[in-house]
């Protein structure tokens, strides 16, 4: 290794070390990390937590007044089953019900209870002129409230059952009448494994690429801004000139990105590991809390390969954006101006993120030319190649190609940033205009 190479490496390490150690030692860093760990674990356990709070309550009380309608169905019992089934998705013997349905006779007394809140709603039955069941719901909730909607749905079912009973159709046939049709989805490609396009598998991959896009986006924006603020801080305290006399802009920028990036990865791991453990142990925790299988499942669709690509895209995407963030931040003199100067870059990042989430949720077809082309462009590829891969819409070769393009582009970004930096850091009190930018890039 030549002496200049050695000093380059040495200075990058020294700058990175300072960034890593001193930023990591700040109280802000420790508190945000602790806060993010709590948030991460809470999010990971949210299904369990939500169930826990739901089961704690006795459920909403619904009172039924049959009056003189003489229904052919046991309204109270049927309503009880229907309401609680629609609330949890599947009838579950162990879970406590969302609704308690009770029968009563005094409508006026029940309405009073509904208005003072001791009962959630009162459902009164009557008969129309042509003999159909009619329902009136007395409730403080609006017509679009979840409870109003599920009660309305259940009431329709009861009315239909009542009509069928009056028409003399036996109960056993009724069950068959209401049974849902068999509906299977398969991939168009005959070579694809059977069941790959099932609703559960698809929902899984959508959720995973959606979640990974969010994680990547947050990391790039948050940690990129750390780099930007660090540059502005050095410029603001005028320490920049001393450092620049000792190290080249290239060394400084690289060191900053490596140091902050390293700390970012450390924080990311500290936050993600407990969250992932929480996700993996969700079933066990649910069993512990609720006893038996509480119907909390693992997300499907995560693979080692996908996580590996996520890691690579995280590092490369962060490197690309943070290098340019640093170059941009060197043009302003005050920390308050940092957000303004990096805004165009942030918008580019938001663009990639939005297209990625739209394609993850199906708003934009994952194989549309827009998505395919963007998945190779350095600024967007971290987001889009990841969502394409997550949904099985990218070949390994395409992923490697996108990564190589990104890797090749980072030195270009570093060169641009170092140019901006060299002329930017000694500019004080000047508003960066397109002309100053142009001059900076030309090295004037």
Partner 1 sequence: MSLVLDNLVKRFGATTALDGISFSVEQGQVFGFLGPNGAGKTTTMRIILDILRPDGGTATWNGTPTTHVPRNTWGYLPEERGLYPRLEVLEQLVFFASLYGIPRREAAARARDWLARFRIPNYERRRAEELSKGNQQKVQLIAAILHEPEVVIMDEPFAGLDPVNVSLLKEAFDEMRQRGTTLIFSTHQMEMVEELCEAVAIIDHGKLVLGGPIRDVKRSSGRRVVRLGVEGDWDLPWLSELEGVTVIRPGQDHVELNVAPGHDPQEVLNAAIARGERVTQFLIADPSIEQVFIERIGRPPSEEGHLAQAGSPSAEATG
* Binding interface with partner 1 (CB under 8 A): 3-4, 7, 10-11, 14-15, 17-18, 22, 234, 237-248, 422, 426, 439, 443-444
Nearer to partner 1, 26 or 118 (CB): 26
Q: Closest distance between partner 1 and the C-beta of residue 442, in Å?
A: 11
The contacts of residue 246 (CB under 8 Å, 6+ apart) are 11
Nearer to partner 1, 410 or 437 (CB): 437
Nearer to partner 1, 8 or 139 (CB): 8
Nearer to partner 1, 60 or 234 (CB): 234
Q: Closest distance between partner 1 and the C-beta of residue 416, in Å?
A: 16
The two structure tokens encoding residue 433: 């205009």
Nearer to partner 1, 186 or 241 (CB): 241
CA dihedral sign of residues 425, 428, 433, 439? negative
Q: Closest distance between partner 1 and the C-beta of residue 11, in Å?
A: 5
The two structure tokens encoding residue 361: 């949720």
What does the alpha-carbon distance between residue 195 and residue 179 come to, in Å, rounded to a whole number? Answer: 22
Strand partners of residue 126: 134
Q: Closest distance between partner 1 and the C-beta of residue 20, in Å?
A: 12
Q: Closest distance between partner 1 and the C-beta of residue 434, in Å?
A: 14
How distant is the alpha carbon of residue 283 from its chain centre?
A: 21
Across 10-44, b (16+ Cβ under 10 Å) vs e yields ebbebbbeebbeebbeeeebeeebeebbeebbeeb
Nearer to partner 1, 28 or 68 (CB): 28
DSSP string, 263-319: HHHHHHHHHHHHHHHHHHTHHHHHHHHHSS--S--PPP---HHHHHHHHHHHHHHHH
Q: Closest distance between partner 1 and the C-beta of residue 426, in Å?
A: 7
């Amino acid at each position: 290794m030549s002496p200049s190479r050695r000093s380059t490496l040495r200075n990058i390490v020294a700058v990175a070390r300072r960034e890593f150690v001193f930023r990591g030692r700040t109280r802000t860093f420790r508190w945000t990390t602790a806060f993010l760990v709590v948030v991460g674990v809470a999010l990971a356990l949210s299904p369990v937590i939500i169930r826990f709070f739901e089961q704690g309550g006795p459920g909403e009380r619904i009172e039924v007044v049959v009056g003189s309608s003489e229904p052919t169905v046991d309204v109270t019992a049927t309503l009880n089953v229907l309401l609680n089934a629609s609330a949890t998705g599947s009838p579950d013997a162990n879970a406590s019900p969302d609704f308690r349905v009770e029968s009563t006779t005094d409508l006026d007394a029940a309405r009073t209870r509904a208005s003072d809140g001791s009962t959630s709603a009162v459902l009164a039955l009557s008969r129309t002129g042509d003999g159909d069941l009619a329902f009136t719901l007395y409730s403080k909730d609006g017509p679009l409230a979840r409870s109003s909607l599920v009660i309305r749905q259940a009431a329709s079912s009861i009315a239909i059952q009542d009509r069928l009973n009056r028409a003399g159709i036996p109960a056993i046939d009724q069950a068959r009448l209401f049974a849902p049709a068999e509906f299977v989805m398969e991939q168009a490609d005959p070579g694809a494994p059977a069941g790959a396009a099932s609703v559960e598998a698809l929902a899984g991959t959508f959720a995973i690429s959606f979640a990974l896009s969010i994680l990547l986006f947050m990391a790039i924006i948050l940690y990129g801004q750390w780099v930007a603020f660090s540059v502005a801080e050095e410029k603001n305290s005028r320490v920049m000139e001393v450092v620049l006399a000792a190290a080249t802009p290239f060394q400084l920028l690289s060191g900053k990105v490596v140091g902050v990036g390293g700390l970012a990865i450390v924080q990311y791991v500290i936050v993600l590991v407990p969250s992932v453990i929480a996700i993996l142990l969700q079933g066990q925790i649910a069993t512990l809390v609720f006893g038996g299988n509480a119907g909390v499942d693992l997300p499907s669709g995560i693979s080692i390969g996908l996580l590996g690509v996520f890691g690579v895209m995280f590092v490369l995407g962060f490197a690309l954006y943070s290098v340019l963030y640093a170059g941009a931040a060197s043009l302003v003199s005050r920390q308050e101006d940092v957000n303004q100067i990096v805004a165009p870059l942030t918008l580019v990042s938001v663009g990639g993120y939005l297209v990625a989430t739209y394609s993850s949720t199906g708003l934009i077809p994952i194989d549309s030319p827009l998505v395919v082309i963007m998945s190779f462009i350095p600024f967007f590829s971290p987001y889009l190649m990841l969502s394409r891969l997550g949904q099985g819409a990218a070949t390994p070769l395409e992923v490697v190609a996108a990564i190589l393009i990104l890797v090749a582009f980072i030195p270009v970004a570093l060169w641009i940033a170092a140019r901006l930096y060299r002329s930017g850091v000694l500019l004080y009190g000047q508003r960066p205009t397109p002309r100053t930018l142009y001059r900076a890039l030309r090295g004037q």
